Amino acid sequence: MASSSGSKAEFIVGGKYKLVRKIGSGSFGDIYLAINITNGEEVAVKLESQKARHPQLLYESKLYKILQGGVGIPHIRWYGQEKDYNVLVMDLLGPSLEDLFNFCSRRFTMKTVLMLADQMISRIEYVHTKNFIHRDIKPDNFLMGIGRHCNKCLESPVGKRKRSMTVSTSQDPSFSGLNQLFLIDFGLAKKYRDNRTRQHIPYREDKNLTGTARYASINAHLGIEQSRRDDMESLGYVLMYFNRTSLPWQGLKAATKKQKYEKISEKKMSTPVEVLCKGFPAEFAMYLNYCRGLRFEEAPDYMYLRQLFRILFRTLNHQYDYTFDWTMLKQKAAQQAASSSGQGQQAQTPTGKQTDKTKSNMKGTNGFSPYFNCCDEDGFWTLRSQETPPKQPQDKPRTSAHWGKEYLKTED
């Protein structure tokens, strides 16, 4: 912890955010739950040592400020320095899609995949309209809203218009921030065109692979400068990951990381889209073929891609009610907890394991999610209690890029 005595009560950042406990960690440092002492609001605080070899929090804060106001973009409350740390205060969010995928026993229904695809395309489109590409599209970087204190602008699932509405927990949960998807982690994001002139960055080759190899586009593997098309292709692999539960290039073995990435690239290029998408609606193959066919500077037709999945959604007679797979599992868990007699009595979780009803069966890798209960009495994600005080963040090796730097991810 920042205080030498380890007392979290003494550490206040930005003049009003008191750190409560550690809720996650990353390459840059640690993430803490904090309380706004003026109104009791819970927020997330990222701490990065000022002695970090490759500081990234300032860059990330600048990107968030550029993106502020967009649907599904976390709100930044404060950035500055406190004691020996760079500090970023932002919205507290819920679990990632990777965590929720694990929570649902690594099975998403087609309804859930299509509802997610609709929001994910819109999130990426918004970043692109702000002249940036994300370059690390993956399930871990999409988080659900926590469901409390939500006053968000939500997208209409049909058509181009957006509707703004104030949401409270007493309203229809279909329209609560609980069901809103957020895009995070802009450490690898890059400006692809000039704000004023709209001039696109030049085509280049011999670039290092930037992003996560599992979801990287073929062109990224080939060392070609990334552009908007690469974010969209990566999303196609994410959707097929949810459909198939894994991708053909996962789990490949090699003597070195470089050889492993080469194997992933070879397998990805040798797997026809039709084989990758076999057994699933043709719209997924259409999506990937479209993205792979885009030119370097070409703007994706985001509405066309959304409509592919929206028409499929209607064809399958699904109702756009924001009832995701985990929503039903959480409701079942809440019912089981309510039916248990006595505080702390054992109850069956959706995965069939015994657990104390105050604990989560979430086993994800995201920094936030292991600290979340499945649900509370309202069906929202809630932070678990944690007895141990937060530890002092370490100056860890960097795992994402600073401004203008290229970086090779170590994940498959």
Q: Taking the chain, what is the end-to-end CA distance rounded to the nearest angstrom?
A: 32
Q: What is the pLDDT of residues 38-47, one digit of tens each?
A: 999 999 999 9
Q: What is the pLDDT of residues 73-118, one digit of tens each?
A: 999 999 999 999 999 999 999 999 999 999 999 999 999 999 999 9
Closest CA relative to residue 57, chosen from 44, 68, 47, 43: 47
Report the top-level CATH class of 94-148+180-329: mainly alpha
Q: Are 64 and 186 in contact (CB under 8 A)?
A: yes
Checking if the pLDDT of 166 tops 50, the result is no
Over range 218-225, report the average pLDDT. Answer: 98
Checking if the pLDDT of 407 tops 50, the result is no
pLDDT for the residue numbered 183: 97
Question: Out of 3.40.50.300, 3.40.50.1370, 3.30.200.20, 3.40.50.1100, which CATH number does the structure's domain 20-32+44-92 have?
Answer: 3.30.200.20
**Which secondary-structure segment (H or E) carries 373?**
strand 372-373
Cα dist. 256→206, 247, 269, 401, 405 in Å?
A: 20, 21, 20, 22, 23
- The domain locations on the chain are 20-32+44-92, 94-148+180-329
Give the E-state strand segments of 96-253 in sequence order. Answer: 132-133, 142-144, 153-155, 162-164, 181-183, 190-191
Over range 229-240, report the average pLDDT. Answer: 99
Residues of each annotated binding site for ATP: 46
Residues of each annotated binding site: 46
Q: Give strand pairing partners of 46.
A: 31, 88
Q: Mean pLDDT of all residues in the chain?
A: 81
49: phi then psi, degrees, rounded to nearest 5: -60, 135
Q: Higher model confidence: residue 343 or residue 64?
A: 64
Query: What residues are annotated to the active site?
Result: 136
Q: Give, as one character, the DSSP assignment of residue 200.
A: B
In sequence order, what are the residues at sequence separation of 6 or more whose Cβ sits closer than 8 angstroms to the Cβ of residue 315?
Answer: none
Q: What is the pLDDT of residues 274-312, one digit of tens each?
A: 999 999 999 999 999 999 999 999 999 999 999 999 999
- Give yes or no on whether 20-32+44-92 and 94-148+180-329 have one common fold: no
Q: Are 134 and 125 in contact (CB under 8 A)?
A: no
Over range 391-409, report the average pLDDT. Answer: 36
Cα dist. 201→132, 302, 400 in Å?
A: 11, 21, 21
pLDDT for the residue numbered 146: 85
pLDDT for the residue numbered 347: 45
pLDDT for the residue numbered 148: 54
